[in-house]
């Protein structure tokens, strides 16, 4: 079935409005950049707040550590704001900041790897399959992170509960209780191959259910606003003030 055809005059009007909005947005960004180059704190803070979440998520995806990622974001802002004269406008300011952040993150990752002394690593008791800490876990209280963790737990519990009983039992026995295939088979009175088949099916069902539930929420993962966003902005401004970059 064909979609509704938009009359030419109406289409032209929409395109004109979109062009005007883009032109206005570019003018706002140009003004913000000009003020930032003069060292106006309000403009610099606005740039930080506009780009914080993206830069943090990208840095974190490389470093897999929230504290290192936050340090990288701060360092990237300071590096960028003290070299704004080098920004030529060949890309958007956001893209330029992103490239600086990626370079900073990869540089930190290389330094981290180079600092590892493998001779001092205690490998006693380490097996091939190791448990990776959940990325939202932190020893410091964080309301945003705690709420996200609670939401994820609820989603997981609901998804597991929704599995057909034969599959749910195998999943809980094998993955949650860490029982062996043989123990699970004996518990349920089935063959080991049946346990493997049911676990495979349970994982597939669970994955599909979680994708449907979590997919729309992915834009909200790794929250970086509120207090954390303000903290980064304050830290960047403090460093720029020490460097004499603020007017």
Q: Is the pLDDT of residue 76 over 90?
A: yes
pLDDT number for residue 28: 77
Residue 49, SS3? helix
Where does the pLDDT of residue 124 fall: very low under 50, low under 70, confident under 90, or very high at 90 and above?
Answer: very low
- As a whole number, mean pLDDT of residues 50-71 equals 88
Q: Render pLDDT for 134-155 as a digit per residue (tens, 0 to 9).
A: 344 444 556 666 776 787 778 8
Q: Render pLDDT for 93-117 as a digit per residue (tens, 0 to 9).
A: 988 998 899 889 989 988 887 765 4
Burial class (CB in 10 A: 0-12, 13-18, 19+), 218: exposed
Where does the pLDDT of residue 74 fall: very low under 50, low under 70, confident under 90, or very high at 90 and above?
Answer: very high
Residue 172 to residues 151, 167, 185, Cα–Cα distance (Å): 20, 9, 13
- As a whole number, mean pLDDT of residues 157-174 equals 85
CA distance 247 to 238: 13
Where does the pLDDT of residue 160 fall: very low under 50, low under 70, confident under 90, or very high at 90 and above?
Answer: confident
Q: Is the pLDDT of residue 206 over 80?
A: yes
Arithmetic mean of pLDDT over the chain = 79
Sign of CA dihedral 83, 84, 90, 94: positive
DSSP 210-232: HHHHHGGGGGGSS---HHHHHHH
CATH number of 143-220: 1.10.10.10
Sign of CA dihedral 127, 128, 134, 135: positive
- As a whole number, mean pLDDT of residues 18-27 equals 69
- As a whole number, mean pLDDT of residues 151-161 equals 83
Q: What is the 3-state composition of the chain as percent helix, strand, coil, each rounded to the nearest 5?
A: 75, 0, 25
Q: Hey, where are the domains in the chain?
A: 14-111, 143-220
| Angle value at C-alpha 138, between 133 and 144, nearest 5 degrees | 120
pLDDT number for residue 81: 95
CA distance 82 to 45: 14
| Angle value at C-alpha 102, between 134 and 45, nearest 5 degrees | 90
Q: Is the pLDDT of residue 126 over 60?
A: no
pLDDT above 90 covers a percentage of the chain that reads 30
Give me the architecture of the 14-111 domain, per CATH: Orthogonal Bundle (1.10)
Where does the pLDDT of residue 228 fall: very low under 50, low under 70, confident under 90, or very high at 90 and above?
Answer: confident
pLDDT number for residue 44: 95
CA distance 165 to 202: 10
pLDDT number for residue 30: 87
pLDDT number for residue 8: 66
Residue 35 to residues 28, 29, 38, 80, 84, Cα–Cα distance (Å): 11, 10, 5, 14, 11
């Amino acid at each position: 079935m064909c979609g509704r055809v938009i009359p030419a005059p109406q289409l032209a009007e929409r395109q004109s409005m979109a062009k005007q909005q883009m032109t206005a947005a570019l003018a706002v960004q140009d003004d913000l950049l000009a003020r930032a180059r003069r060292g106006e704190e309000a403009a610099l803070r606005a740039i930080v707040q506009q780009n914080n979440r993206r830069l943090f998520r990208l840095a974190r995806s490389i470093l897999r550590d929230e504290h290192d990622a936050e340090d990288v974001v701060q360092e990237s802002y300071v590096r960028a704001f003290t070299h704004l004269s080098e920004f030529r406008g060949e890309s958007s300011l956001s893209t330029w900041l992103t490239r600086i952040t990626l370079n900073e993150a990869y540089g930190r990752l290389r330094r981290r790897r180079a600092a590892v002394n493998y001779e001092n690593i205690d490998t006693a008791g380490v097996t091939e399959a190791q448990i990776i800490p959940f990325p939202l876990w932190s020893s410091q209280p964080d309301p945003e992170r705690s709420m996200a963790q609670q939401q994820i737990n609820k989603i997981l519990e609901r998804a597991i509960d929704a599995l057909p009983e034969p599959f749910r039992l195998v999943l809980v026995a094998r993955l949650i209780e860490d029982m062996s295939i043989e123990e699970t088979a004996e518990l349920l009175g089935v063959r080991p191959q049946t346990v493997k088949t049911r676990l495979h099916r349970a994982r597939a069902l669970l994955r599909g259910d979680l994708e449907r539930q979590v997919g729309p929420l992915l834009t909200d993962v790794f929250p970086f606003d509120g207090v954390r966003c303000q903290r980064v902005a304050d830290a960047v401004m403090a460093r720029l003030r020490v460097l004499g970059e603020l007017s």
